[in-house]
Structure 1
Amino acid sequence: MKVGDTIVSSPEASIASGNALPPTKIPLGTVIHNVEIIPGNGGRLGRAAGAAAKMVAKEGRLATPRLPSGEVRLIPQSCLATVGRVGNIDINSEGSGKAGSKRWLGKRPRVRGVAMNPVDHPHGGGEGKTPIGRKNPSTPWGCVALGTRSRRKTKYSNPFIICRRKSS
C-alpha cells in the first residue's frame, strides 16, 4: 500500500492489499491478516508486526486459514479478513540498544530462580551452582514451566481447531 490508496471493507471489495472482505470472496492461497473469529466482533488473529495467515480451504459455511503460529482452524464465512501482510516485518531483528530502553517500555529486570532463596522460588537455595533439584523446571508458584499444555480441555472453541500449533 502507499499514500493515497483507497481501502474498502465490504463483500464487493477487490482483492487488493488492505481491503477487508469475507473468506467467500478471497481466493485460496491468498495472504491475509486481521482475521475475525466471530462475525462483527473485529479482527482477532494475525495482527502482530509482520504477521500473515493464509487461506487454505473453504467448505460450506466455514473457511480454513493457516495462522502465523501454524495452527489451522475453522472460521465462519461471514467473518472479515484483510488482504495482505501486516507491516513492520523487521521489528524483531532490532535490538533495544540498552537496558534503559526496555525500562522506558515498562520491562523490569528478571532474576533467575536459582539465584533466589528457597523461600522465594522452588529452584532457589543451595551452596554454589546447584541444579534445580526437581524433575522439571518450575514457575515461582511450583507449576511445571516447560512443555505443559495449559489450554482447557473443555474450551468451547476446541472443535474449530483442526491442527494445533507445533510446540517447540
Structure 2
Amino acid sequence: MGKRLLVQRRGRGGSVFRNPKWKKIGPARYIEYNAEEFKNKVLEGYVKELVHEPGRGTPLAIVRFEDGREMIMIPPEGLAVGQKIYYGAKAPIALGSIIELGSAPEGTIVSNIELRPGDGGKLARSSGAYAIILAHSRNKTLIQLPSKKVKEIDGNARATVGIVAAGGRTEKPFLKAGKKYYWSRAKSFKYPTVRGKAMSPYAHPAGGGQHPKGLTPAPRNAPPGRKVGHIAARRTGRKKGASKTQR
C-alpha cells in the first residue's frame, strides 16, 4: 500500500497545514487612506503597546491617534511605548513617522512601503529590512529595495521612517530541533521534511534502494501525487558540449 506524499497532505488542508489565524492580532497596515486628509493634516499619535504575534518575525506596535483611531503597524528599530508618532505628508522626518515618499529627502531610510497609495504597505516589512530613497522624478520616486534592486514607486505612496525592528533575529541559532518544530507550527508548515530519495519506492516516486532512480520531470498540470522532482523543467542534467573550466 502506498503512502500519501507531503504535497498531497498539504493540499488536503489538515490541521498540520492549516493557518493558525486565530492567534493573529490583526492586519499590520496603515489606517484607511484619505488622500486629502493625508496631504493637508498631520495627525499625532502615541505607541500604546508593543506586542508579539505568533508566526511573525517582527514585533507589532499598536498606535492610538489623537482623533481616537487605532492602527497596528510594523515598528522601526528604536520605537518605544509612549513615543509620539506623526502621520501625514507634511509630517517631520523622525523615527516612526508615516510620510509620503515624494516629500521625503533623498537618502531617507524607510520601511513598510506601499506599492500603490492606499494598499497599506507591501515592501520592506520583514525584520531588519529597509529601503533607501534615491531620487524623485515628477510624481515618481526611485527607491533601492533590500535586494538592491531599484524600483520606481508612486510619490503619493506612504512609508515609515526607519529600519524594521528585530534585525538581529537571524543571528540567533535554533540550537534544538524542538524549537524549530514549534517555530514551524506557528508559521503552519511541516517540519521536519524527509527527502524523497531517502524513502522506499512505495512511499515516493524518487525512492528506491542504493542506486539512483531516474525521475521523469513532472508536467505543470500533474496531480499532487505526480508533481514531484523537476516540475515543468525545460531540461535536466548536464549540458552537452559545455566548455570545461580552464585550469
User: What TM-score, normalized by structure 1, do the two folds share?
Assistant: 0.72
- Residues 1:143 and 2:205 are matched in the alignment: no
1:47 maps to which residue?
125
Task: Give the 3-state SS of the residue equivalent to 1:44 in structure 2.
Answer: coil
1:163 maps to which residue?
none
- Residues 1:127 and 2:179 are matched in the alignment: no
2:89 maps to which residue?
11
TM-fit CA distance, 1:61: 1.4
Change beyond 3 A, Cα 1:117–1:60: farther
Cα distance in 2 for residues equivalent to 1:19 and 1:95: 33
1:158 maps to which residue?
none
1:109 to 178, 189, 192: 192
TM-fit CA distance, 1:78: 0.8
For residues 28-60 of structure 1, give each alpha carbon's deviation from its aligned partner in whole angstroms, at most 9, with x where no partner exists: 111110000111110110010101111112111
User: What TM-score, normalized by structure 2, do the two folds share?
Assistant: 0.51
TM-fit CA distance, 1:17: 1.1
TM-fit CA distance, 1:4: 3.5
2:164 to 70, 86, 91: 86
Contact 1:51 1:85 in 2 (8 A): yes
What pairs up with 1:67-86 in 2 under 5 angstroms? Answer: 67-86=145-164
Task: Give the 3-state SS of the residue equivalent to 1:63 in structure 2.
Answer: strand
TM-fit CA distance, 1:119: 5.9
Q: Structure 1: where are the runs of 5+ without partners?
A: 146-168
Q: Structure 2: where are the runs of 5+ without partners?
A: 1-78, 218-226, 234-247
Which stretch shows the higher mean deviation, 31-40 or 109-118?
Answer: 109-118
For residues 92-144 of structure 1, give each alpha carbon's deviation from its aligned partner in whole angstroms, at most 9, with x where no partner exists: 0112231111222314211113212456555432425x3x74699xx725316
Cα distance in 1 for residues equivalent to 2:127 and 2:199: 36
Cα distance in 1 for residues equivalent to 2:141 and 2:216: 43
TM-fit CA distance, 1:5: 2.5
For residues 53-87 of structure 1, give each alpha carbon's deviation from its aligned partner in whole angstroms, at most 9, with x where no partner exists: 11112111111111112222111111101111011
Q: Percent identity?
A: 36
Cα distance in 1 for residues equivalent to 2:178 and 2:89: 47
Task: Give the 3-state SS of the residue equivalent to 1:18 in structure 2.
Answer: coil
Cα distance in 1 for residues equivalent to 2:117 and 2:125: 17
TM-fit CA distance, 1:3: 4.1
Task: Give the 3-state SS of the residue equivalent to 2:136 in structure 1.
Answer: strand
